[in-house]
Structure 1
Amino acid sequence: MKIEHKDYKLLHQYEEDEKLRTSFNLLTEKTYHFDFEKWYQAGYWEDNCVLYSIADKDQVIAHVTVNVIDFIVLGEEKRFVQLGTVMTDPEYRNQGLSRMLMENIMLEWEHKCDMMYLFANDAVLDFYPKFGFVPVSEYQAFYKPEAVIKGPAFRKMNMDDAKDRDLLYHTAKYASPLFKISMKDNAGLVMFYANYFDRFSFRDNFYYIEALKAIAVAEYEEGTLVLYDILALEKIEIKEVIHALANGKTGKVSLRFMPDQTEGYEISLYKEDNSTLFVQAKQRKLFEEHQLIFPILSHT
């Protein structure tokens, strides 16, 4: 990639450089109101989180993160690349820096993965089609328990407890696929949501079901149980988890993932505010035909 300004340079995978990492975190805080430093210091930043930036001397001024994520998709292992934290310092905008980064990344990763995708906010929906991305719909599943069936016992996990953090990490790393799209061996990203993402954290939403060797990521909203994710060391029935967590007030269960088997579930469109999924055009058919959704803990 040609950088025309003599003081600009392309940076790649530089997270071990404290000065540059600090500059990257400052731009992230300025743009998105969070940073990655606590996550990095905790040791959960893994090699699949790859930084691509343009710097003016030692100041990061534009950036795109490449997140290499392995998934089990409809029973087949796939390597996807998710693009995230796309940003340019306001003082350096309108120079085509994000375009240069995107072109460089597309060229480098096109033949190293099965698909590239990203989640875009409403302000930039016209930007990504320039690189061959198209918007696609996601779907969610609902389940209405006909009766409260007493399931196995569970307990709320404490992310301030090192044993619970280790349990979560181990379970996430070796979790069995349960959904139409299941993330594989990306415990570092799960830990980011568990304890190191101050802006939007799930640290109070982890529940351990010992009998199932499973961790549920869930929230109670009046009469609805929102089930964001399930991490289990062995294949289990999702409805076992539902009946473990449901209580007498649970009239509906909203799943933010798509079960492998959807019999007995109601399926409908899902639209997150200010967020649209873009995939490469050649993968549009996969999403149009199979009513998919990326589990929220796989978002970057």
Structure 2
Amino acid sequence: MENIVINNRDYKLISHFKHNNELRNSFNLLTQQVFHFDFEKWYKSGYWEDNCLLYSLLDIDRIVSHITVNIIDFIVLGEKKRFIQLGTVMTDEHYRNKGLSRVLLEKVLTEWENKCDMIYLYANDSVLDFYPKFGFVPVDEYQASIKNSKIKSPYSVRKMDIDHVSDLNLLFEKAKEAVSLFKLSMQDNAGLIMFYCNYFDLYSLKENLFYIEDFQAIAVAEYVDDTLILYDILATQKIEIEDVIYTLATEQTKNVILRFMPINNENYEVSIFKEEDSTLMVMADKSELFKNNKLIFPMLSHT
């Protein structure tokens, strides 16, 4: 805990407090107020791992400003990298425009900039002018798509039900040991995947999980009219993405969109992907990585 004076008002900088019930409850309350969800069910599930760290400013006994530091390992173009993603950047509405977020962000950047290969975040489009003051620049992400021409796959697929403990454990096992299949693949972050698939109240993916026994792989996918959107593939051995598409496609499927970038994307149409009201921002010296290689962070790695 560190005492900090901002605009003649005393605050306390606190971090790594997820096991403190009072502070975690205050954090959840602010998250509900700003983003309309909280992390309590995820915490109680036991899947909140130690790579998700909390940094907050405390006014007496209440959290009024916050940044989460997510330590995420990726395989990027075949090389292992450690990235820091900043998330849940928020300030109580009564404390905004007082410099609290600036102080928090400066503290976090000072602590982590020399401990990782890149720091990045997804910025709400209403605050895009804030982050360039700290060296961040917006970059484009790219998605791959392909027309579907195959039906009647010889492989079997079943929809998972993670309300059953066997499927819940299967999901965690595959997420924990998933191998790299994309140009940019998240590694060993089962806790974050469990959050998205079962504990994110705003948009749970629990209805979008499919197990392909022939490949011993889980596909995270959604069917929207005649389009199959494939968000992620969790496999413990190398498999062909086209085989997964072939297995998931139905007679109605005409288009397939990937929210990750295949290592070999020659057969795909690659286009800029823009998430609604959100822009990827990275430190300026890392921007060429995305421009030159047409990358996208898999959706289940977002925080």
User: How does the TM-score come out when normalised to structure 2?
Assistant: 0.97
CA deviation vs aligned residue, 1:80-107 (integer Å, no higher than 9, x gap): 0000000000111121000000000100
The residue number in structure 2 matching 1:269 is 272
The alpha-carbon distance between structure 1 residues 138 and 151, as it changes in their structure 2 partners (threshold 3 A), is farther
Give the whole-Å Cα distance in 2 for the aligned partners of 1:171 and 1:147. 27
The residue number in structure 1 matching 2:66 is 63
Give the whole-Å Cα distance in 2 for the aligned partners of 1:192 and 1:32. 16
The residue number in structure 2 matching 1:3 is 4
2:123 equivalent to 1:109:
no
Shift of 1:279: 0.5
1:90-101 maps to which residues of 2 (within 5 A)? 90-101=93-104
The residue number in structure 2 matching 1:249 is 252
User: In structure 1, what residue type is equivalent to 2:56?
Assistant: S
Task: Give the number of aligned pairs.
Answer: 300
2:165 equivalent to 1:158:
no
2:229 equivalent to 1:187:
no
The residue number in structure 2 matching 1:198 is 201
The alpha-carbon distance between structure 1 residues 264 and 151, as it changes in their structure 2 partners (threshold 3 A), is farther
Give the whole-Å Cα distance in 2 for the aligned partners of 1:110 and 1:279. 12
CA deviation vs aligned residue, 1:149-196 (integer Å, no higher than 9, x gap): 514101101121111111000100100100011000000000000110
2:242 equivalent to 1:239:
yes
Shift of 1:147: 2.8
CA deviation vs aligned residue, 1:49-75 (integer Å, no higher than 9, x gap): 000000011100000000000000000
Give the whole-Å Cα distance in 1 for the aligned partners of 2:152 and 2:274. 31
The residue number in structure 2 matching 1:224 is 227
User: In structure 1, what residue type is equivalent to 2:282?
Assistant: V
Specify which of 278, 283, 291 is matched with residue 281 of structure 2: 278
Give the whole-Å Cα distance in 2 for the aligned partners of 1:123 and 1:54. 22
Give the whole-Å Cα distance in 1 for the aligned partners of 2:49 and 2:150. 43
Give the whole-Å Cα distance in 1 for the aligned partners of 2:74 and 2:161. 27
Give the whole-Å Cα distance in 1 for the aligned partners of 2:27 and 2:105. 17
Q: Percent identity?
A: 59
Shift of 1:2: 6.5
Secondary structure, counterpart of 1:165 in structure 2:
helix
Give the whole-Å Cα distance in 1 for the aligned partners of 2:153 and 2:55. 50
**CA contact under 8 A between 2:178 and 2:235: conserved in structure 1?**
yes
Secondary structure, counterpart of 1:259 in structure 2:
coil
Shift of 1:8: 1.2
User: How does the TM-score come out when normalised to structure 1?
Assistant: 0.98
2:300 equivalent to 1:297:
yes
User: In structure 1, what residue type is equivalent to 2:32?
Assistant: E
The residue number in structure 2 matching 1:37 is 40
User: In structure 2, what residue type is equivalent to 1:118?
Assistant: L
**CA contact under 8 A between 1:151 and 1:241: conserved in structure 2?**
no
Q: Give the aligned CA root-mean-square deviation in angstroms.
A: 1.0
